[in-house]
Structure 1
């Protein structure tokens, strides 16, 4: 349709393909597309990947560029974030245009994978991408740019997508007022929902739920580069663990994985190493304890297909008591002698 623009997500490893990404961006702009992804959306952790999935959902096409690096690996899935993006696009039926670097191309060492495990994973990822009917092989940057230009123009003509079109038939001022009103109503509903959750909890309260005297012990392990597996443990009172979780939450809900990462970052951050909890059920036990105390609640997201955890009003009060800086008020005697 005339004046319609198509949003295109660009996925690849980053440091080894900086120049290629920039030139692909230029080509998409020349093709009157709206680029998404790029430097602003390079997934390096679970939370960023959750944001990226929402961006992919809004895109009309997905471009995958594979070089000779596999990229950062998600500790939960064991595959790279780039491959996770590709799998998500395929699962959600976003048309994928894949561009795989010729295996015979010679690159500098800093642009190649040197870890044997990642080399094998990259090989498998390449093989999977090559099964895509819209996949091309490229040998240099110029060839990549040319193939992207042809592929995106062909895709626009042969694969119908909704695209984006300038809105002209609306009163902008009225629309803004409506949005502000809906946002206000949404916030009020959130407060009422949390109040309802807390009220229900008060009727089903479990007696004598431990908090102040609950000793939490979480065993973990990690493997330094070139060394053997090592172990460690986190030993804290439950209120200290809650403080970490609640501070990370603020006004957002988090997945169990994000909560685990927050605890690891606070108490088990090992430079250059991925840390793994020995007992995968331990975090669930902690979250259930905090829920029984009425400090947090859980909600299932149909869109994301995930369980999220957030603070109740009681939980926010406890958090604020823990972290809010209070003035040191001194008593002054103004009695005249």
Structure 2
């Protein structure tokens, strides 16, 4: 019976985006299910209660420590350390990847506040004491460290993992989850049908350079204080397609699209936007619109949805997004 293991990836965000991306990509290539802050709204005390439930559902906890301590909770402890402490308390096996030379990091990747630096040092000592730790100095090293460390951890400390619904007929809770997801998928398909019925021609649907407004929630560190801010991000459907299409030329996991799209939006903001998230409703609206435009189709089952470009739309979309020759080039050719 094949299992897929859910791995919670914990770290500070703004300074470790490349590192997180490398680790998450490696986990997906290992057929693991990555979970982390990319999937959650901006962190606060209420959202941390939800994150604890996700950690409870995870089989392993992967911690990346760089040169920042991270956003502080009301208790004066970073959310990253709170996640770590909770995972240890719950007995979840930890894979810790700690930067070996934080003093060599760029200024924007380290704590400037002396109190935060002291808290980071104490946290590093906690993580590296009486625990197997791997040290890294470059983001490119992380993929190899994960590929070596996680399989050993899985072999030494086997976890429950996730299995397909058709392989767990005696698992009542899993079947209930599967039925719920199927109902949600049916409801989504009904929404698509209604949308198509109300728009008799594809041309009536928003597309091309039409603008979609996405709600952005994020934290901003100003003067050592974390402030919650909500903004609206304006993006054209062509820009959305340019991001999504290269990934869905072959079936691609929906959860990975959501995580990568969130990172893409986050990259548009300055580093002091500590955590950026997009409203899940906006992501669902993007999916519905692309389905209605008959640009993508959904594959897999409700537990593991994949997106793929529709064969009938592949040529049209790829041509529309391909680089065009300038008029001057055409004149010179003549």
- TM-score, length of structure 2 as denominator length: 0.50
- TM-score, length of structure 1 as denominator length: 0.49
Q: Larger Cα Rg: Structure 1 or Structure 2?
A: 1
